[in-house]
Amino acid sequence: MKVSALLVTATLMLPVFMTACTNAEAPRTAADPAAPTDKEWSMPNKNYASTRYSTLNTINTDNVKTLKVAWTFSTGVLRGHEGGPLVVGETMYVHTPFPDIVYALDLAKEGAPIKWKYVPKQDPKVIPIACCDTVNRGLAYADGSIFLNQLDATTVALDAATGKELWKIKQGDYKNGQTITSAPMVVKDKVISGISGGEFGVRGFVTANDVKTGKQVWRMYSTGPEAEVGFTGTDNEKSWKGDEWKRGGGTTWGWYSYDPELNLFYYGTGNPGSWNPDQRPGDNKWSMTIFARDPDTGLAKWAYQKTPHDAWDYDGINENVLIDLTLNGQMRKVLVNFDRNGFSYTLDRATGELLMAEPFVNVNWAKGIDLKTGLPIENPEKRTSSAMNTKDICPSAMGGKNQQPVAYSPRTNLFYVPANNLCMDYEGVKIAYQAGQPYVGAIVLSRPGPGGNRGEFIAWDPTTGKKAWSIPEGLAAWGGALATGGDVVFYGTMEGWLKAVHAKTGEVLWKFKTPSGIIGNPMTYTGPDGKQYVAVLSGVGGWSGIAVAGDLGAEALPTDALGAVGAFGDVGSFSTQGGVLTVFALP
């Protein structure tokens, strides 16, 4: 069964809507900024489609077992290292968590010495405003410039050759709870950035700034009046109680994708504020939503709300991977999203039509997704409230998959999914909003899911909505995946292992223990010497590793760190703080 995307004139109870984009320019291809060669890695998720797939195949299933460390680099920062480096030409660009240092490393010289270093000036008072560690998910490159989002909600453009600051613009104020942890994306002549702070009552938005000057071109919000959301005819405000939409979350701290032919970029919005669902009756549009927007105007063509009136903190910001897929004998241009709520969604990326939705992890909060309406078929026993402590909900608020991005290989037609196996208890509590203060309103306790393993690395067949194979992990698989033309897939573990597995079978072909837990995303490139390299950041942290990164200590309660300590309070037994880039090559 399939559901067609609904026009805005259709029944407004349904979560998929469509409206027309206006003033769209013809899609550009060769003229697009940041058009990479496959020897480079010039975008955080490799390409606009966010496949994290490289055609490089010198490292393959036969020889990966001989992979050795080529060189290492210490970032000098001991917090959670998410994301991964960029490689453009003969330069590697490495970022750190707060204070968000950027290094340019010279790959043409032995040991990759530093070409330049940029250290932002930020008020350390921003540190406790970061919800779940002081992470940064990466940089963007275009037209000779590097773009950085700082934790204090500042976007900076740097000269890629010298590190000179070209422009700097404030996107928000951390004193009001606004921060930025996501990587920007450049689309044509605009750099697109989101905002974090859903746990502080921040109203989510996405912003386009001029690449050359930093001038704001447009800003569109996730909640509120239609003109400010850029999506007409959908009664956004009526889906909230009173003016709750003004602190309604829907922040945009995840990943971005772009289809040049359709001239649409895609991203997800986060949880509604507060976490107590009783304080915000209604669907809470457009939290927990996949948006398709025109990058020229910011106007939305369609939106699909995955989890209306969220009661579990199933932040909907995970990456949207753009592929062509044969379904029911028909080739479709689709978007695939592995959501925190435990379901994998496949939508027509031109229209928002929902084509498939299947659980990829253990799920009991819903029995499935109704393909006619697009709505979850909820299990009423697992809907949370402030009237009780709802027990044993799967997945936990930490998600069936958190922000760690998947990879897709066109050689195997499989997705490679770093997943969690976590359940939780959840009780809403009444909370009053105060600017710059936490606005959570829930007591959460996460724990390992069925079987006791807290993670799993999954090969997923998008044509059937089923697992092809999987590898259980003792801790969550909190880092991203990399697929290559050599049929080798790489991923990291919170213990610090970088693993190489056979893309077709899941056989572990090689592994190496890095200095700290891996929550970053491996990448690959061809060096100036013509050799293929694989690189990954290690440095345990993020939400899952905050007990170590934040030095919470033995006195931490299981419900601390928004419930993360209950699931990962023992991470310190497996990993210590770190901040190291490790680069591998064949002998």
Domain presence at residue 275: yes
287-324 confidence digits (pLDDT tens): 999 999 999 999 999 999 999 999 999 999 999 999 99
Percent of the chain with pLDDT over 70: 94
What is the predicted pLDDT for the residue at 53? Answer: 98
CA-based nearest residue to 176, from 205, 210, 199: 199
Which residue in 45, 149, 271, 276 is the catalytic one? Answer: 271
Residues sharing a CB contact under 8 Å with residue 344, sequence separation 6 or more, in sequence order: 336, 337, 338, 356, 357, 358, 359, 360, 460, 462, 465
Domain presence at residue 1: no
Instruction: Specify the pTM.
Output: 0.93
For all residues of the chain together, what is the average pLDDT?
Answer: 93
Residue 558: cis peptide before it, omega within 30 degrees of 0: no
> Per DSSP, what are the bridge partners of residue 21?
none
Which residue in 313, 339, 427, 495 is the catalytic one? Answer: 313
- 3-state class (DSSP) for residue 371: coil
Where does the pLDDT of residue 434 fall: very low under 50, low under 70, confident under 90, or very high at 90 and above? Answer: very high
22-40 confidence digits (pLDDT tens): 333 322 223 333 345 699 9
Q: Answer yes or no: 90 catalytic.
A: no
Is it the case that residue 564 has pLDDT exceeding 90?
Answer: yes
**CA atoms of 490 and 524, how far apart (whole Å):** 10
Range of the domain at 541: 16-585
493-521 confidence digits (pLDDT tens): 999 999 999 999 999 999 999 999 999 99
Which residue in 82, 189, 199, 560 is the catalytic one? Answer: 199
**CA atoms of 376 and 368, how far apart (whole Å):** 6
**Mean pLDDT of the 392-415 span:** 98
Domain harbouring 411, CATH code: 2.140.10.10
Q: Answer yes or no: 402 catalytic.
A: no
564 phi and psi angles, rounded to 5 deg: -70, -30
570-585 confidence digits (pLDDT tens): 999 999 999 999 999 9
88-138 confidence digits (pLDDT tens): 999 999 999 999 999 999 999 999 999 999 999 999 999 999 999 999 999
What is the predicted pLDDT for the residue at 235? Answer: 80
Domain presence at residue 132: yes
Domain presence at residue 5: no
Is it the case that residue 8 has pLDDT exceeding 80?
Answer: no
Least confident of 13-17, 249-253, 532-536: 13-17
Q: What angle do CA 527, 528, 529 make, to 5 degrees?
A: 85
For the chain, what is the domain count?
Answer: 1
Is it the case that residue 11 has pLDDT exceeding 70?
Answer: no
Where does the pLDDT of residue 71 fall: very low under 50, low under 70, confident under 90, or very high at 90 and above? Answer: very high
Domain presence at residue 512: yes
Contact between residue 85 and residue 61 where contact means Cβ atoms under 8 Å apart:
no
Q: Answer yes or no: 199 catalytic.
A: yes
Is it the case that residue 544 has pLDDT exceeding 60?
Answer: yes
Domain presence at residue 224: yes
Domain presence at residue 98: yes
129-170 confidence digits (pLDDT tens): 999 999 999 999 999 999 999 999 999 999 999 999 999 999
Domain presence at residue 529: yes
